Amino acid sequence: MRISTDFELPTPTEMSAIDRAAVAEGIPFETLMERAGGAVADVVIRQAPVGAPILVLAGPGNNGGDAFVAARHLLEAGHPVSLLDLSGGQGTGAAAEARAAYTGPEVGAEDEFLDRAEVIVDGLFGGGLARDVTGVFADVIARLNRRHREVVAIDMPSGVDGATGLVRGIAIEARRTVTFQRRRPGHLLLPGRDFCGEVTVADLGMSDTAVGSALCQTFVNTPALWRDARPMLALAGHKYDRGHAVVVSGPMTATGAARMAAGAALRTGAGLVTVASPSEALLVNANHLTAVMLVRADGAEGIAEALADPRRNVVCLGPGLPADDETRAKVRAACASGASTVIDAGGLSAFAGDAAGLAAAIGPKGAVLTPHAGEFSRVFGKGLVDEAGRLEAARRAAVDVGAVVVLKGPDTVIAAPDGRAAITENAPPWLATAGAGDVLAGMITAFIAQGVPLFEAAAMGVWLHGDLAQRVGPALIATDLIANLRTARAAFDHV
């Protein structure tokens, strides 16, 4: 079994189109199903203790067909297998043929074998499920979840929506998931990711042309996605070639966030970084800054004046700023300048309940927004993520305001107005600490300063942020990220 490592994340609908393209290229669908079921059986054989009783669950559709094939392979390999067929005889074509080919033991939904089986192969539903699991299916899943045992899910744990990662009523808790050709968004998005366990991607022999025919717009946030857009130093270059970033400071009692963003921007490669500070905070900021420069900037007029120099090509504002009318005015001034804009924290919360106002402020040139879940809900509505899932919610927001949206979390989503989206999987749990988001905003700002397009700059910053946190390790605080950026940033140039 070959393992695929490509970074496209087709939705279940797009994966069906890829299946059809592979069939059109000459691979019979029966062959694809045979390879899929065989790959599942291979994983089970490697993981199952010798002699462990195995229960294979088969539901309607092609996922059930894969389960029938896996059950046959396990039986032929000499394993004690029993089949629970909940397909209701709905299988057609390849799935019906696979059902007919299995001749081993079978059990019913009430059979005691469900409690005795040590290994479960879950083929009830695939990733295309978009309705709640009910009836006998829900009863079986609930019964199986009560005991801690080895569950290998086919394609996606039953009950998890492969497009959104949302749980449809109830979902089976898998230790391993075997999917095919490419992962789906639901393998990376929470809460679905927690139900998948370790994910194996089996290569069914489909061509890159077949995969490309789906025109997938969702990707794993991995260096392969943006490697060619990384900024490279020229031997004869100078600091202004690497851009001049401006970070707007909060009032006297809230200056640290801006300084962390500024320090991160400088360490990530911006040629120059200036903190634009209100008069009341000048002395506080001056007492802490050395390599980062400082300029007075009072109110929206001060921001506009600070950005009048065209060499100051990107501005980050929001860290440490209050969510008030003055901050709204500063955001409008920043977006009206010639500089690219990164809006975080208070810069977003100042537009609570007013996504249209934020869109008007951003205008046609775009921006990067870096909300955590709370800030996102304040601006775009509390129910959007619950209703649509994080990926679709970020996409809708990106279109609505004409900006790249970085919806932060353990499964950070980066969405562009043109439909592209990337999902991040390298963020460790200890990255959830005060100030880490300010550091991220500064890192993204630095990549924009160096000429990287907005979507790629956001994706790079998020990936490097996760990689950096992994290098630092548990118990980190935000300033540890900046202190260790030199090593991580150097390695970034070679990933």
Binding site as annotated, residues for AMP: 408-412, 437
Peptide bond into 231 cis (omega under 30): no
> How many CB atoms within 10 Å of residue 129?
29
| CA-closest candidate to residue 445, choices 255, 229, 248, 262 | 262
Task: Report the chain's C-alpha Rg in angstroms.
Answer: 26
Cβ–Cβ under 8 Å, residues 160 and 192 = yes
Residue 311: burial class (beta carbons within 10 Å; 0-12, 13-18, 19+): exposed
Binding residues: 62-66, 122, 126-132, 155, 158, 257, 320, 372, 408-412, 437-438
Lateral strand order in the sheet of 413-415 = 218-220, 421-423, 413-415, 404-407, 368-370, 340-344, 312-317, 244-248, 272-277, 293-296
The H-or-E segment that residue 64 falls in is helix 62-76
| CA-closest candidate to residue 271, choices 13, 446, 420, 444 | 446
Binding residues for K(+): 63, 122, 158
Cβ–Cβ under 8 Å, residues 186 and 192 = yes
CA 375 to chain centre: 18
Q: What angle do CA 43, 423, 1 make, to 5 degrees?
A: 20
Lateral strand order in the sheet of 198-202 = 81-85, 54-58, 119-123, 150-154, 176-180, 198-202
DSSP string, 396-449: HHHHHHTSEEEE-STT-EEE-TTS-EEE-----GGG-STTHHHHHHHHHHHHHH
C-alpha–C-alpha distance, residues 317 and 300, integer Å: 12
The H-or-E segment that residue 143 falls in is helix 135-145
Binding residues for (6S)-NADPHX: 62-66, 126-132, 155, 257, 320, 372, 438
CA 254 to chain centre: 31
For residue 248, the cross-strand partners are 276
CA distance readout (Å), 386 to 120, 162, 244, 373, 381: 30, 15, 39, 11, 10
Residue 383: burial class (beta carbons within 10 Å; 0-12, 13-18, 19+): exposed
